[in-house]
Amino acid sequence: MQGYVDNALFIYSEEGTAHVDMMLNNPYGTSVTPVPLEEFRENQDKYLKNVSHVVISGDLKSIKWLLKIAMERGFSVGVIPIHHKKIARIYSLPEEPKDAMEVALRDDAHPIDIILCNDEILLFKATVGNLPLLDSPEDISPIKLILSALKRLTKLKFHPFSITINSEQKINTAGSGCMILQRHENTLASKMIAHDSAIDDGMISMIVSSPLSVVDYFKFLYQLIRRKGLPKRLPTTGYIKCPLIDIETEENLPVQIDGEKITHPPLHLVTIPKAVRINVGDQLRKEEKSKSTVKERIDVDALPTGKELLKMRKKRIPFFPFATEERFRNLFISLREDAQINPIYIILIILSTMLATVGLYQSSTAVVIGAMLLAPLMAPIVSFSMGLLRYDSKMSRSSFIKIALGTGLALLSAILITLLFRYKPITPEMQARLQPSLLDLLVALISGVAGAYAKSHKEIIESLAGVAIAVALIPPLAVAGIGLGRGNFFFFSQAFLLYLTNLIGIILAATFTFRFLGYSSAIGNKKGILLVLVITLLIAIPLYLTTEKIMNASALEKRWQRERFLVNDKYLIVKEAHIAYQGNHRLLFAKVLTREPLNRSDLNKLRDEIQSNITGDMKIRIQIIYIP
């Protein structure tokens, strides 16, 4: 059976005056002595003589003031909240005054810890710096969270922190802010510690937020929305639980305690175990009974330290994440190895180009694909992209030299094969690489994304071979070498333009893919990326012109299908029409059907008829097919 105190002192503010009659006429047999708050402040000793239980109805500041006195005098405290739902929520108190009075007059006050922050009582939370949205309701929808966050998250900065745990362990790190939690219900922050804290565990719970990017911060918040309790791993976040914490900052960061700016860094936080006895609600009692013993916890592996800290300090948090070598050491070691020239690379470049050149002369697709698989050019290109992104001049320079050497060796190998087989004619496989278009650039961009993604994931690294086939770096180089060997500059320029298109497209796409995946350094190479982007745009100009030519030719070919001419009273039907480019000249290849023999006069007249329907100069090649 529930028991109640025999006597209680009732301290009330001006707004709590309405509760005086209710307290005096309580049905629980408690003798209540009402005292206005201001009068109590002036005569504490008088009213607290022989008092063991005090009920207060006032604002948050008054409640915290009374709790400090209770810590010194040892009396228990009951609370009747006035327009302060947080107090009611954290102690599971009823919001109706009569129900709150019933809890406040019970004789089973629960001992709770008090956290002091620079000697100020902390009941809910204290924040240092900026931790946007951790105060959001835990049932907030992901879409609403994103919409409310965009402006606040883009202004986050890394602030250096020095955190000392229990006066022993010191952690130097950087983050957007820290949050110290006591009781802070129904928010994303409280959700993190819901199963790892108690009101009488003698511990301070602190969250240190250090998102490597706005994207990472969103991921972290989304995990909190989707999961219950504290995640096993806290990405971009540290969690500290101990009795004593000291925080120092290089900057005078804003500090709020329970929503008020009361103090400033450095901060000294200490827990006073079971410092005061408070009448709490039934729900909180049940929760505390179900919780197991809570131990100290220090989870700071995700926080930046060392070189990473030096690069991050006082910088604005980027939208996309960045990485340090400590985080992805194996990947960076592999990329640096790919940037180095070795005998295997030289041999494979020469063999793959020779194989591709022979395959092009034979017009054999299978042989050309085999040469693509053998070619090792993709690896240094991906390394160059990473070096460009991370402002790693050594990796970029080594990769560039390796690519340039491979390009030169490939051209020389193709020239050598061409000089040995000068009599061999131009094949369709060669001609297919003489009209680079915007579609080729698109293929290169997609291949660059695939190459960077495959390189960053060990389980799909084998897919780089498929990327090499898709983008086809060696065949255009081989055709360019054939052009040089034959002394045909147009041949060389068009094929080499295709090679440059593939090369620049892969570099650009791989660079941005690595950026999106979070592999950039804290110091970005904006100039290098901008240069690649400008080169890509310059290459896109001739590609656009070629694409326009191809589209116009395609439209003309379609228009000429089944075209009919009456030449010297003889009906001629165009069965097929194909337009090709040779240097700066356009060639029209057409198959014409006729039932009657054609003489020289008929052919000349047909040529004039065709020419009259075409704008610009065009050489015409006609194949006459006689039908019965």
Tens of pLDDT, residue by residue over 78-122, are: 999 886 677 888 888 888 889 999 999 999 999 999 999 999 999
Two tokens, residue 466: 């498929």
CA–CA distance, 206 with 126 (Å, rounded to integer):
9
Report, as an integer, the average pLDDT of 253-259.
85
Tell me the C-alpha distance between 416 and 414, whole Å.
5
Give the pLDDT confidence score for residue 28 in this predicted structure.
Answer: 92
Identify the CATH class of 7-108.
Answer: alpha beta
Which tokens hold the place of 513?
A: 């893919």
The DSSP element (H or E) to which 586 belongs, if any, is strand 585-594
Residues 6+ apart with CB under 8 A from 451: 378, 381, 382, 464, 467, 471, 506, 510
> Average pLDDT for residues 234-243, to the nearest whole number?
79
**Mean predicted confidence (pLDDT) in 517-529:** 63
Q: Quick one: 14 exposed, middle or buried, by C-beta within 10 A (0-12, 13-18, 19+)?
A: exposed
Q: Residue 341 has what DSSP assignment?
A: -
pLDDT of res. 245: 94
Q: Is the pLDDT of residue 140 over 60?
A: no
Burial of 328 (0-12, 13-18, 19+ CB in 10 A): middle
H helices present in 123-267, as ranges: 142-153, 188-193, 214-226
375 and 444 in contact (C-beta within 8 Å)?
Answer: no
Of 74, 99, 79, the C-alpha closest to 91 is 79
Paired with 416 in beta bridges are: none
Q: For residues 110 and 283, is the Cβ–Cβ distance under 8 A?
A: no
Mean pLDDT of the chain: 80
Two tokens at 385? 């992209």
Over range 8-13, report the average pLDDT: 93
Question: Tell me, what's the pLDDT at 138?
Answer: 47
Candidate ranges 50-59, 425-434, 496-505, 545-554; pick with highest mean pLDDT:
50-59
Q: Which pLDDT value is given to residue 230?
A: 47
Distances (CA, A) of 339 to 342, 351, 386, 457: 10, 20, 10, 18
The residue that leads in pLDDT, 230 or 201, is 201
Which residue from 343, 360, 302 is spatially nearest to 326, judged by alpha carbons? 302
Q: In the prediction, which pLDDT does 227 show?
A: 56
- Give the C-alpha separation, 482 to 459, whole Å: 38
Q: What DSSP character marks residue 16?
A: G
- Which of 440-456 are b and which e, b meaning 16 or more Cβ less than 10 Å from the residue's Cβ? bbebbbbbbbbbbbbbb
pLDDT of residue 620: 76
Q: What are the sequence ranges of the domains in the chain?
A: 7-108, 120-312, 329-552, 561-626
CA atoms of 17 and 57, how far apart (whole Å) = 9
More confident residue, 297 or 23: 23
Token pair belonging to 92: 């599971």
N residues, the chain: 628
**Residue 468, pLDDT above cutoff 60:** no
Residue-wise pLDDT for 317-332, tens only, equals 666 666 555 556 777 8
Predicted pLDDT at 231: 47
**pLDDT the model gives residue 409:** 94
pLDDT of residue 237 exceeding 90:
no
Residue 524 pLDDT more than 60? no
> What pLDDT, in 10s, does the model give residues 483-508?
999 888 888 988 898 888 888 888 88
**Average confidence (pLDDT) over 616-623:** 73
The single-letter code of the amino acid at 35 is V
DSSP string, 381-397: HHHHHHHHHHT-HHHHH
Share of the chain above pLDDT 90, in %: 23
For 129-165, give one letter per residue: b (16+ CB within 10 A) or e: bbbbbbebebebeeeebeeebeeebeebbbbbbebbb
Q: Give pLDDT, residue 159.
A: 83
Quick count: other Cβ atoms within 10 Å of Cβ 534?
A: 10
Q: Is the pLDDT of residue 333 over 90?
A: no
Lowest mean pLDDT among 241-255, 465-479, 590-604: 465-479
- The per-residue pLDDT for range 262-286, each reduced to its tens digit, is 888 899 999 999 999 999 988 888 8
| Maximum mean pLDDT: which of 146-155, 248-257, 460-469 | 248-257
The pLDDT value recorded for residue 393 is 82
Q: Which helix (H) or strand (E) holds 239?
A: strand 237-242
> Residue type at 306?
G
- The number of CA neighbours under 13 Å toward the Cβ of 159 is 23
- Which own/partner pairs from 510-514 qualify as long-range (CB within 8 Å, at least 24 positions apart)? 510/381, 510/382, 510/385, 510/386, 510/448, 510/449, 510/451, 510/452, 511/385, 511/386, 511/388, 511/389, 511/448, 511/452, 513/448, 513/449, 513/452, 513/453, 514/385, 514/386, 514/389, 514/452, 514/456
Task: State the fold for domain 329-552.
Answer: Glycerol uptake facilitator protein (1.20.1080)
Please, are residues 456 and 516 in contact by the beta-carbon 8 Å criterion? no
Over range 61-80, report the average pLDDT.
92
What pLDDT is recorded for position 233? 46
Comparing CA positions, the residue from 245, 271, 241 lying closest to residue 116 is 271
* Mean pLDDT on 408-416: 93
Question: Could you report the per-residue pLDDT of 380-401, keeping only the tens digit for each?
Answer: 988 888 888 877 888 889 999 9
Q: Is the model's pLDDT at 232 over the cut of 50? A: no
Average pLDDT over residues 217-225: 66
pLDDT surpasses 80 at 40? yes
Residues 349 and 406 sit within 8 Å (Cβ to Cβ) = yes
pLDDT of residue 103: 92
Tell me what the mean pLDDT of segment 134-141 comes to.
54
Confidence check: pLDDT of 186 > 90: no
Cα 503 to Cα 287, 360, 394, 443, distances in angstroms: 62, 20, 20, 11
DSSP secondary structure, 520-534, as one string = B-SS--HHHHHHHHH
Q: Give the CATH fold of the 561-626 domain.
A: GMP Synthetase; Chain A, domain 3 (3.30.300)
Class of domain 120-312: mainly beta
Nearest to 375 by CA among 457, 466, 446, 443: 466
> pLDDT at residue 513 above 70?
yes
Half-sphere exposure in the Cβ direction for 351 (13 Å, CA): 11
Q: How large is the average pLDDT for residues 369-373? A: 84
User: What's residue 569's pLDDT?
Assistant: 76
pLDDT for res 53 = 95
Is-contact 568 604, C-beta < 8 A? Answer: no
pLDDT band at 601 (very low <50, low <70, confident <90, very high): confident
Residue 245 near residue 165 (C-beta atoms within 8 A):
yes
CA distances from residue 340 to 176, 344, 380, 401, 407 in whole angstroms, order as listed: 39, 11, 8, 9, 15
Retrieve residue 310's tokens: 């030096």
Work out the end-to-end distance of the chain between its first and last CA atoms, rounded to an integer number of angstroms. 115
The H-or-E segment that residue 486 falls in is: helix 474-486
- Per-residue pLDDT band for 229 (boundaries 50, 70, 90) equals very low
Mention every residue, 6+ apart, whose C-beta is less than 8 A from residue 27.
Answer: none
